[in-house]
Amino acid sequence: MNNELILSWKNSTTHMWVPVGRLKFQNNHYFFQYTKGAQTSKEFQPFEKMDNLNKIYESEELFPLFKNRLLQKSRPEYSEYLDWLDVSKTEMHPMEELALTGGVRATDSLQLFPMPIENNGYYEVKFFSHGIRYLASSYIERANKLENGDKLYIMKDIQNPHDGYALTLRTEDPPELVGYCPKNYVKDFNSLIEENGAENIEVSVVKNNKMAPSQLKLLCKFKVKWYEGFTPFSDDDFQPIVS
């Protein structure tokens, strides 16, 4: 289970995603603190009841800001929801759910990402392909036909006006776009690709949820060797304000 998540906020003016906080679960308590990204973004406003950027918040219960992003277990679609997330058990820990779904809501511009950890010498993360709903209809049709285990390829989107590090996901033959890698990961992915070589990157479809909403449709996995000296999310904006 991922015990630490990065909270990102989308600036409505620049359309850039900025890391603004960290949520951690330790010793059966939840901790939240702001990162330096919250200080560097002038438009960002602290959250209600957590308005001190220089404080570490602690609670035995998940903070309301994040609890409201979980699907209630009483909902009739909950079992189908677990299937979309590729979870076999009957329920999961809130941190695990938030790590998989990103806690995305249509009413705001917040998203959560798990802090990558080294696993037997490898960097391995699962994520849902972003931006599927904005693709051309022929690409969406191709995405719907992908099978579990299908290989995917990464392309640099160097002329992206919002992010020069942006990475797209494509199929093999014929090559067709099936979404984007999440913004929080792209700098790490670029670094790992450059260090290991593109031929040593493994990107694949974990699960294709053809009947799910677009943000939960294509669950993917990125895997590569964790090279010596690599530190995930090393940019200053990711670092906590309070040590």
Quote the mean pLDDT of the chain.
91
Would you state the pLDDT for residue 106?
65
Q: What percent of the chain has a predicted confidence (pLDDT) above 90?
A: 70
What gap in Å lies between CA 113 and CA 233, rounded to an integer? Answer: 11
Would you state the pLDDT for residue 4?
96
| 140-167 pLDDT tens trace | 999 999 999 999 999 999 898 888 899 9
* Domains of the chain and any CATH numbers: 4-115+234-238 (no CATH), 122-225 (3.30.70.2330)
What gap in Å lies between CA 145 and CA 73, rounded to an integer? Answer: 30
Reported confidence tier of residue 89, pLDDT bands at 50, 70, 90: low
SS3 60: coil
What gap in Å lies between CA 102 and CA 96, rounded to an integer? Answer: 10
Q: pTM here?
A: 0.86
Q: What percent of the chain has a predicted confidence (pLDDT) above 70?
A: 98
| 32-68 pLDDT tens trace | 999 999 999 889 999 999 999 999 999 999 999 999 8
3-state secondary structure 169-185: EECCCCCCEEEECCHHH
Would you state the pLDDT for residue 55?
97
- DSSP structural state of residue 237: G
